[in-house]
Amino acid sequence: MPLTEDANLSFRAGPELDPTLPTPLYHQVYLTIRARIRSGEILPGAMLPGELPLAKMFNVSRITIKRALSELAADGLLDRQRGRGTVVTSANPAPIVKGSFDTLVESLKLMGLETEIEIIEVAEIAADAITARLLELAHGAPVQRAVRRRKLQGEPFSYLITYIPAEISRRYSIEDLATTSLLVLLERAGAKAVDAEQWIMAVAAEPAVAAALDTADGAPLLKVDRVMRDATGRPVQLIHSHYRSDRFHYHVTTRDRRPLADG
């Protein structure tokens, strides 16, 4: 049922805030309430408890609650009216980007066309041992390292660290990198990616990644390490991707007719 002044058990049942995290307490409160609105646990039209009851539930100060609610209101999720209280105005569901193993390259191109990219850092560096091995380069060979963040409808959903052999990255500019899909740039540079090998795992968000993705430290993320190759089998890109698990799903279709092993 919608949350009211008397129906506050959903907050009590939630995870405790962690004051040892770099993420401020008000932002932890913000993330918790936002997640419950988006999940439908708190429905549009529901009345939230007052600032003092919420402060007791989260074991924080009233100022902390006030700031969290103000940010939720600024995002359009709450309507705060003097004398009436705080009402949920919209679930504002975040769109989910879906990728497919069957059409991996096409899905990645589509992501590049449908999302916006933000460049955080770009530099040409010497490849460390692991990067060199995966790109089949000599240890210390020059590579371009680019740290980027992708957004969908203004909200971040992926944090990307990409390594490109310098002989390829020197064929496009940093300005190109900020405005054009990297797969398109690789194709223009004569290094069209046609195949991929990848490793997928669940990880906890480290502070820098959590901050970039606007999520809590330690939040579950989907990490994909991917090596892209051209038609000759040459590695042309190594990328370490962190995806918000609430905003990115991989879709897999299995064509083998034999029974699948359990687990």
Domain ranges of the chain: 9-88, 97-251
Rg, the chain, Cα only: 22
Categorize the per-residue pLDDT at 114 as very low, low, confident or very high, splitting at 50, 70 and 90.
Answer: low
Q: 0.85 exceeded by the pTM?
A: no
Q: Which residue has the higher pLDDT, 6 or 90?
A: 90
Residues making up the chain, counted from first to last: 263
Q: Which residues of 134-148 are buried (b: 16+ CB within 10 A; e: fewer)?
A: bbebeeeeebbbbbb
Amino acid at 194: V
Q: Which residue has the higher pLDDT, 121 or 25?
A: 121
Out of 46-55, 160-169, 177-186, the most confident range is: 160-169
Q: How is residue 21 annotated by DSSP?
A: S
Q: How far apart are CA 127 and CA 235, in angstroms?
A: 14
Query: What is the β-pairing status of strands 235-244 and 248-251?
Result: unpaired
Categorize the per-residue pLDDT at 231 as very low, low, confident or very high, splitting at 50, 70 and 90.
Answer: very high
Q: Evaluate whether the domain defined by 9-88 bears CATH number 1.10.10.10.
A: yes
Categorize the per-residue pLDDT at 112 as very low, low, confident or very high, splitting at 50, 70 and 90.
Answer: low
- CATH number for domain 97-251, candidates 2.70.50.30, 3.40.1410.10, 3.30.750.80, 1.10.645.10: 3.40.1410.10
Out of 88-92, 102-106, 140-144, 147-151, the most confident range is: 140-144
CB 52 within 8 A of CB 8: no
Q: Percentage of the chain with pLDDT > 90? A: 37
